Each structure stands twice: as C-alpha cells, then as structure tokens.
Amino acid sequence: MLPENLHVLIIDDNTTDAGVLQRLLTKMNISFDLLFDSRSFQEDLARVRRPDIIFLDLEIPGSSGYEVLSVIQSMPEYEGVPVVAYTANSAQMGDARKAGFHSFLGKPLKSGDFAEQLERILENEPVWETR
C-alpha cells in the first residue's frame, strides 16, 4: 500500500514520456513536480517540494542524467531519496547501476506493474526492469 501524501519529482525533457508518467501518478492520486530543463534544475530543486522518489531521464539535452544524479547526490536535503533512472535506452542499465541509481525503469512504463514497482522502491528495494 502506498503512503498518503506521496510526492514524486520527474526530470524529463520529453513531454510525451513525462505525460505518461504524469497520467499514471494522477490516476493514483500522487502529487508530482516536473522539471524539463536540466540547465536550471539546481535552482528548480530549491523551489519544489522534497520528493519521496525522483524519476530521472538519462538523455536530457544540455546535461546527462548521470550529471544530474551526481548533483542530487551531493545535496544533503535529498539524502535518502531514491533516484530512478527512467529511459527508453535499456542498454544503459549497467551504467545506471554503476552510477548509483537506486532503480531503473524502462520506457514505456507498464501501467499494470507501476504501483507495485513504486511500493518496492519506497520499501528501499531496488527495481531493475527494462519493460
């Protein structure tokens, strides 16, 4: 069972992919913030509510998801927040694991599995699934 008041941060420049995740979260009554531009994400992180989970696209113009992860990991206020690599490129799973991502979910997300995947991540169980 997912906790009440769950809040998610999505960092993804692709409005279509972000929209899929937004619709899933909305159906589950989960609040979220969406950041599109990795060039200003540090400033943006200061203005958004602290999330319970971060979904981070690995292929963001202007910066890679790995660079963004490094910045997030260096911020004390985000300590303990699981960061999920969220990408259509399943070949990056090994690199994502080495970089320190908590979990990996391949695009497109499977709506039937999503709630269970979120529960596992919130229980600090890494989820590594390509589709």
Assigned domain for 94 exists: no
pLDDT of residue 46: 79
Determine the structural domain holding residue 40 and report its residue range.
7-89+105-129
Assigned domain for 100 exists: no
- Stretch (H or E) spanning 53: strand 53-56
117: its two tokens: 């995947």
CA distance 128 to 96: 10
pTM, 2 dp? 0.94
CATH number at residue 41: 3.40.50.2300
CA distance 28 to 52: 15
Residue stretches of the chain with pLDDT short of 70: 37-39, 131
Q: How many domains does the chain have?
A: 1
pLDDT of residue 59: 86
pLDDT of residue 63: 78
